[in-house]
Amino acid sequence: MAYQVNGQTVEHDEEGYITNLGDWSKELAEVIAEAEEIEMDDERWEVVNFLREYYDEYQIAPAVRVLIKALKKSMGPEKGNNKYMYELFPYGPAKQACKIAGLPKPTGCV
């Protein structure tokens, strides 16, 4: 189970989350997104970048509410809402966007 990026092999688990977080790169994000049938654009990159910054500071993905609140500030209320996030990432901003951002899958009753 691995992604191929720039001739390199990057291992992932059964669900497509990369095994070694240090393997992440922008090129890899594009490859994961393609596997998820998602085309990365500026807005999706903004979500992914926010997730990575938050993870850098807290070693965990942010609550959906925290993510939305941040995006409301930058994108405005029309786009900074839960519904729009699901339009960007149909399998959920937390799980699908985390996968593309190279973060571990949020676990639990979520």
Would you please indicate which residues are annotated as catalytic (active-site) residues? 109
Cβ 32 to other proteins shortest distance, Å: 16
Site string for other proteins, 55-94 (x = CB under 8 A): ---xxx-xxxxx--x------------x---x-------x
Region near other proteins per CB under 8 A, out of 3-11, 27-35, 40-48, 100-108: 100-108
Beta carbon nearer to other proteins, 5 or 94: 94
Residues 6+ apart with CB under 8 A from 73: 80
37 binds other proteins (CB under 8 A): no
Cβ 107 to other proteins shortest distance, Å: 5
Contact between 33 and 100 (Cβ < 8 Å): yes
Residues that bind other proteins (CB under 8 A): 14-15, 58-60, 62-66, 69, 82, 86, 94-95, 104, 106-110
